[in-house]
A and B are shown apart, each in its own frame.
Chain A
Amino acid sequence: MRSGFALLLLLACPALLRAQDPRLASRLDPATRRMVTALIDSAATAGLPTEPLIQKALEGASKGASGGRIVAALRTLAGNMETARAALGKGSREQEIVAGVAALRAGATTGAIRGLRLARADRDVAVPLAVLADLVGLGVNVEAAYESVLDLARTEADDAAFARLKQRYSGDRQP
């Protein structure tokens, strides 16, 4: 019992864990909050973006998910961010990692992410990756979506051209 109490104190110790994000305080039960904060702390230490993790936890809380499910979703997301960063290479920007995660979760391979990085050379690939993810989210087969985005990337298109690619597919503009 004493050791259990000590463990709880240790888990909650601000010297070992980053300060909890105030947004989490009122939205998660204490046990979930501690685990979520620990995951966020690990991500920060590894140099990964933390805001997507916080938002994922808040999303789970709003949608009434159990603590276990929220923590599992955060673990998956943190793993996806590491994978995306590895595929994008050193020096990848936070928004590229976030968009890379969206592409991965949509079904793109790490090879596809690397392919876009190579095709865009030293330019930001956040928008092409986000458009790739969105196209799949609109129902396009992931291989077809990747080929289209890659074709466009090879033409040195700007971000607006990628947006138009998606818009023309989704038909969310006037006819």
Chain B
Amino acid sequence: MENSEIAPDRLIDALAAELRKPVSLDSRIDQRVMAEIRLTRVRTQRRRTMIWSGLGLAIAAGVAALAVFAGKSPMPGHAERVSFALEAPSANHVTLVGDFNNWDPQATPLRRVSSNGRWETTVPLRPGRYQFTFMIDGTRWVADPRLPRAVDDFGEPTSVITILPTARL
């Protein structure tokens, strides 16, 4: 083969030339970016106040709360396991209360998982929009400062968590 030595380099050159050709992408990406940019502008303007109010809330309540996605169901409409965690070192008893458990303060207790006062529980939730709060020692209601707040009707904070049927979030 006369080209046995040079063919591989030609091959790589031909390969690179092919890969340098333009590709086709969704032309609406620019619009989507511009949609997000509007929010970024708002966020930048609000950033300082949000950080300080968040810290103030955590210190005042003596807790920091977060809700995390623990796993994803691959099938649309199926329940996903959603983990809820709360840091409340001085608490003796913590429960999760929301419209997924008929606002029953006894239904979903959290268990203490660390010596620094982290409490956790996992709840299977189908796609949907849910409202919830944590209840500490049967008297104190605490919302998750990182999640959207629902409009409050009863003088206690309420968080909103949305689970979408799409697998990739």
* Chain A residues within 8 Å of B, Cβ to Cβ: 23, 55-56, 58-65, 69-70, 73, 76, 95, 98-99, 102, 105-106, 127, 130-131, 133-141, 144-145, 147-149, 151-152, 154-161, 163-172
Q: Is the CB of A137 within 8 A of B103?
A: no
Inter-subunit contact A163/B166 (CB<8 Å)? yes
A141 touches B42 (CB 8 A): yes
The reply to whether A161 and B102 contact each other, CB–CB distance below 8 Å, is no
Instruction: Give A101's nearest chain B residue, CB to CB.
Output: B151
Is the pair A161, B32 in contact by a Cβ cutoff of 8 Å? yes
Distance in Å: Cβ of B76 to nearest Cβ of chain A: 10
CA distance A130 to B160 in the complex (A): 10
Tell me which of B32, B34, B39, B46 has the highest count of chain A C-beta atoms within 10 A of its own C-beta: B39
The total of chain B residues at the interface (CB under 8 A) is 42
- In the bound complex, how far is the Cα of B43 from the Cα of A58, in angstroms? 35
Q: B8-16, B17-25, B86-94, B142-150: which lies at the A interface?
A: B142-150
Contact partners of B102 in chain A: CB under 8 A: 23, 55, 58
Q: Provide the B122-159 mask, 1 if CB < 8 A to any CB of A, else 0.
A: 00000011010000000001000011111101111010
Residue in B28, B103, B149, B151 whose beta carbon sits within 8 Å of that of A155 in the complex: B28
Q: List 11 A-B contacts (CB under 8 A).
A: A55-B131, A58-B104, A62-B97, A62-B105, A65-B154, A136-B148, A137-B150, A139-B50, A148-B35, A155-B31, A160-B168
